[in-house]
Amino acid sequence: MSIEKLMSDKAVLEELGYRLSRHRLELGLTQAKLAKEAGISKRTLERIETGESTQTSSLIRTLRVLGLLEALDMLAPETGPRPMDLLKLRGKERQRASSKKQEELSGEDWSWGDRK
């Protein structure tokens, strides 16, 4: 079954859990072995596989052991600057430091206002 936007949250969790259990079985892992390698309880893994709510860190640990952690990158891909933002910034980015500004900060020729 494909995950679609009209599915309920529960249905999405159940489908995800089903897919993870199928992947676990393809790797020849028992629930106990996967849970131990992931550092979670067997009951937590059972909850993930049946589509119950669990902590995100438990899901991440499970995905890591199953070799599926990189798939999260597709879930929320990195974003870069948008093309229009790049056009607006063009020519406005600082290219070098001004020597005049550095002299002002260095303290040379600086004095208190009350000294003459």
The pLDDT assigned to 115 comes to: 60
The pLDDT assigned to 7 comes to: 92
The 3-class secondary structure across 36-55, one letter per residue, is HHHCCCHHHHHHHHCCCCCC
Domain spanning 9-70: CATH superfamily: lambda repressor-like DNA-binding domains (1.10.260.40)
The first and second tokens of residue 40, run together, are: 């979670």
- Burial of residue 89, with CB atoms counted within 10 A of its CB: 0-12 exposed, 13-18 middle, 19 or more buried: exposed
The pLDDT assigned to 4 comes to: 87
Displacement of CA 111 from its chain's centroid (Å): 51
Rounded to two decimals, what is the model's pTM? 0.66
The pLDDT assigned to 91 comes to: 55
Residue ranges of domains in the chain = 9-70
Residue ranges for the chain with pLDDT beneath 70: 88-111, 113-116
